[in-house]
Each structure stands twice: as C-alpha cells, then as structure tokens.
Amino acid sequence: MEQRETYKRANFFPGLKATPLFWNEMEDYHFAKEVLYNSLFHGYGIVPDYQQSLHVQAEKTKGGLITLLIGSGLAFDGFGRPIFLYKPQAIVLDPKKFKIPCTAYVTISYNERMEDFYENPENYDLQGYQHKEENSKVEILSELTDYNTYVELARIRLEDSDGTGINEIKNNDAFSNPGPNAIDFRFVPWVNRVRKGISSYLLNFMINLFEYTESFANAGYEVLPLISLRNLQSVAMTSKMILQTTGVYFDDVINMVKPIFNMDHQVLFDIDEWEREHESEGKLYTTKTAYEDAREAMYSLGDLIKAYTGSYDEIDEILTLHNKVITGLKATLVEKEVSTNDIKFISHKMPHILLFEDERYTLVDSISMANEQSLETHDVRFINCKHPSTSNEAFYYPDGVLVHDAVKRWIGGEMRFHLKNIVKGRKTLLVRRTDILKGNYSVDVKYDGKSLKTLVIDGTDSQNRWRNVFVLFEEGEISKYTPEISFDIGEQGRDNSGTIWVYQLL
C-alpha cells in the first residue's frame, strides 16, 4: 500500500514566528488533502460537462499547418492534481516530427506557473512571486507511457497512404472506427462527476414502486398476453435492479421514468386494440372505471414529463401518477384480492388470476359438469354412489346475481376425477360451486385414495343457493402431474358439485 506522509495542520499560538516556510507548508497541506480527495472520489480523467470538457477539434489548415483546438475544461491526473485549461488553446500538429505510420497522442498535464512577482528594489531578499497558478500543459506526444502525469485527450493514427504527405486531420465521424488521420476519442478517460443525490426514502419508494410495477406486469400478462406487458415487466425489473445495485443520481430518475411512461402508454393502447380485435370474446376492459382512471393518470403523467424542470416536487407527483396508472391497470386486468370468506361469494366468472390470502394463484384447470369432453378428459366417475344425476340449474348468489350451471348430484360414495396441467409440489387451491339448499355437512377430500382434506359446506340457504367452497393443498402435498382427487360423502350422505376450478401458486 502506498505510504503517505502524516498530515499536520497549522496550529497558531502567541509567539509563533510565521515565516514563509510556515505559510507554504500550510498551503501544501491543503493541496495535499485536495489531491487525495480527488484521487479517491473522482479518479483519473476528464471532468464531464464542465466548460468544453477539453474537447479536441481539428481546424482548417492555415499556411500549410494542421491546427488542433482544445476546448477549456478540467481533468485530474493519476496523482489527483487538478489540470485546468482556462480558455481554449490551439496547438500545431507537424507530421514531419513523427515517424509515419504511427499514433500521435494529444495530452494535457499539470503545470504550475509562478505569477504576480512582487519587486522590492530596496531589499532583494524581500521580493518574490505572490502566487502559484494551477495551470496545464498541452502537448502532442509520439508515445504515452506515464499515465499518472499525462491525461489523453485524443489520439490520431497518422498514415501517408499515397505518399503526398498528411495535409488534413478529420474530425470524428465514427466513434467506433474513426480511421486514419482522424481524431480518435475511444481511449479518453473520464472521471465520475458528483451530482445531486436522492434520499434513502425516495430510493426505497422507487424500488417498491418498480417491484409493484413488475409484479403487476407479470400477473397482467397471464390474463392478457400482450407483448407490451412483458416489456413493462422488463423495464421495471431493470430499473429496480439498477436502483438496488449501483444506485442513481437525482437527474437519472426522470430518465428511468420516461421508458416506464412509454410502456404505460403502450399497455393502455394495446388493451384497447386487443379488445377491438377480440370483440366476440366480450371482455370489455376499456369500459371499466379503473381503465379510465389509469388512462387519465397516464395523460397527466405525460404532461408532467414534458414540462419537467428538475424539482423534487415534480418527481414526487410523477411517481405518484405512475402508481395510479399501475393501480388502475391492475384493477382492470387482475381481480381484487379475496379472503377465505369472500371466495364463497364470487358470482362472476372466476378470474384467471386470483389474489388469495396475500398470494397470487393462477387458474390452471377447470371441470365443467355440462361438457362431456371435460368430463372424459378429467376421468370424472362415481364410485359406490346411488342415483347419480346431472341437472341444469339457475340459482342466485347472495349478491343477487343469477348464475346458470350444470350440477352433478349423488347419494353416498364418492366422485373421483383427475387434475390436469398441474405443477407438482406447488400450493393448489381447488374451488367448487355447490348448491347449499341442504348444507351443513362436510366432505372427505382424498388424494390418491387417502384422506387429506375436509371440504366444509357451512350453512343452508333456500333463496340464494350458490356458494363456492374450497380446499387448499399445501406445498409438497400434491406430488403428481395428474393427481386423482375424490369427494367422498360416506355411505348415506348427499353431495353435489357444479363447476370445479383449480388454481396453483405460480
């Protein structure tokens, strides 16, 4: 490890003799601390976006001379010394001084100049320079070996292909392949300029917001497979990853929000477009209040981004509006979260995505008692049952919604069936529509012939007869891809089953 001298600050006391050596040591202390800070926190290279950033440009030749113009700016060398070029400087490139073909390096290095000489004609011992100007020296070198002292501003590959000499240097038209006799910026070092930061509160808020966006986009895609939802998920996931790993400056926040806004806009447009192209399916997403809320928030968000001036208040409002867009889209595509009690009363079509007890379940299978193909595919059969029958029913749910469904009824024994599209080992939620005219009983739910769960039909209702009853298989309980399930009512009990829905935690 590099050994540095011990830092000693000046300490004044009565009787101190403050000689020039004392004062110069004090100045050297501050300069040494400055270069240490620069080397640790900025590094080596050009400071971006300060004045003209030491940009090198080829000028038209005058009198046969090739002139390079170096813009003003600041750089730090390998020792941390600040290299200032206070105003643009022209320098002549003479190809005759180089053994062509070769590479010429445009460099800048630290240079101190003594300034403001104080003259004392009466006593020469009491005169001298009053200041050291921190300046720079611009040179064109044939090789660059001391990277601590010199900072490269550009390089030029000098070639005389036709033997007529080099009469012109071209400016950079292609960064990755500038070609011979052209300014090459590919190897120029740049330091990291400190900019306005963001608080840990804003950082955590953005991480949670982008995670929420990513989660919705993934769930939304399972409901409606739009490419824009996948793109939104990717953008949100990337933004969250950047925040969690490298972090961002405040000025970066708006640049992270802009692609998110573009995806918000695209998703809303694609939902509208999908609905027009699939009119026969009758999924009227755009008629929902939540969709209109999301679209209104999206337009307001666009207006804010266009008028953005760089304040914290604006960022807060922008992020809040994006949250409104996602919340509206979520309410449009993904049904609301249901509890163990709420699930009994879902009268509408069971959703593709079910947010149940803080976990997201996806519909993987269903069995319709009116569809022979569905019954055959799932191998639905009745074992030791009396009087199994099928009837088409139209009953109400407690919310007053009339629902038509086919119902299997039986006395004693069990109804067996196989599940399809199962990922073994995953949590599995089995929901069954049931007529509770004669409720208050329980059903033994078996897995591969072994009792595993109990399905409870709680209460009776002669007016609003439909209920959804369910059992939840925990992680690891289902170990087959096509497991056999049965509803066993015992020897004398009565049971019935309407449509069966199967969800898994995916």
Q: What is the dihedral of CA 82, 83, 88, 93, to 10 degrees?
A: -160
Distance CA 96, CA 381 (A): 97
Model's pTM, two decimal places? 0.58
Say yes or no to pLDDT of 447 above 50. yes
Provide the percentage of residues in the chain whose pLDDT is more than 70.
97
259: which 2 tokens? Answer: 């692609």
Residue pLDDT, tens place only, 18-27:
888 888 888 8
Question: What domains does the chain contain, in order, with CATH numbers?
Answer: 1-41 (no CATH), 45-184 (no CATH), 200-333 (no CATH), 342-505 (2.60.120.260)
Looking at every residue in the chain, the average pLDDT score rounds to 90
Range 100-110 average pLDDT:
94
pLDDT recorded at residue 281: 72
Q: How would residue 372 be classed by pLDDT, with cut points 50, 70 and 90?
A: very high
Provide the percentage of residues in the chain whose pLDDT is more than 90.
63
Residue that is written with structure tokens 């949250």 in the block: 323
Residue pLDDT, tens place only, 223-260:
888 999 999 999 999 999 999 998 889 999 999 999 99
In Å, what is the CA distance from 339 to each residue of 60, 145, 343?
Answer: 77, 71, 6
In Å, what is the CA distance from 405 to each residue of 61, 336, 497?
Answer: 89, 24, 10
Q: How would residue 1 be classed by pLDDT, with cut points 50, 70 and 90?
A: very low
Which amino acid does the sequence have at 459?
G
198: which 2 tokens? Answer: 């963001």
Q: Is the peptide bond before 101 cis (omega within 30 degrees of 0)?
A: yes
**Pairing between β-strand 428-435 and β-strand 466-473 as defined by DSSP bridges:** antiparallel
Range 396-418 average pLDDT:
94
Range 91-116 average pLDDT:
91
Task: Please check whether residue 155 is in contact with residue 106, taking contact to mean a CB–CB distance below 8 angstroms.
Answer: yes
Distance CA 272, CA 295 (A): 11
Residue pLDDT, tens place only, 282-339:
778 898 899 999 999 999 999 999 999 999 999 999 999 999 999 999 888 876 566 7
Neighbouring C-alpha atoms within 13 Å toward the C-beta of 8: 9
Q: How many helices (H) and strands (E) does the chain have?
A: 7, 23
Range 156-170 average pLDDT:
86
- DSSP per-residue string spanning 289-308: HHHHHHHHHHHHHHHHHHT-
DSSP state of 449: T
